[in-house]
Amino acid sequence: MISRRQLVSGLALAPVATVLAPGLARATPSLRIRDIYLGGGEFSEAAHSLVGKTVMIPGFMAPPLKPDARFFVLTRRPMAVCPFCDNEADWPRDIVLVKLAGPIEWLPFNLPIEVTGTLELGTEIDEETGFVSRVRLVDAEVEQA
């Protein structure tokens, strides 16, 4: 049971909590895709320091590589759906493989999303598909930005 005193003190603390809450939300460090990769196949210090930790990475969902897979690819720019922008051949190699705990709900590829999961670096070969990836977010959750 909540005593009246606890309730009152809870109410009294409510303004403090709202002040603290944004800080708490930011406790999950965020990382931009462009800050992960350095040139020449190296990773940045910021990325190295976050390995194994829960990280939020903003980006865009890329078209699926496998229809029934539990992973998707996160890119820093939307994979072109714009006929005027479709002519850039310099597609960047900086992508993040996102592995979800559950099935994927495919969102429009031009919708900004925020993906939170555990960061993994280094080359890995997926057992099921045989695909090689270098940066992964595992046990991830997707939110619309």
Distance CA 65, CA 138 (A): 17
Number of residues that bind other proteins (CB under 8 A): 25
Give yes or no for residue 132 binding other proteins (CB under 8 A): yes
Q: How far is the CB of 89 from other proteins (least distance, A)?
A: 5
Give yes or no for residue 105 binding other proteins (CB under 8 A): no
Please give the C-alpha separations between residue 102 and each of 10, 35, 72, 117, 120, in angstroms, as whole numbers.
36, 28, 12, 13, 19
Give yes or no for residue 81 binding other proteins (CB under 8 A): no
Distance CA 62, CA 77 (A): 9
* Interacting residue ranges for other proteins, rule: CB under 8 A: 62-69, 73, 75, 79-80, 86-89, 91, 93, 95, 97, 106, 131-134
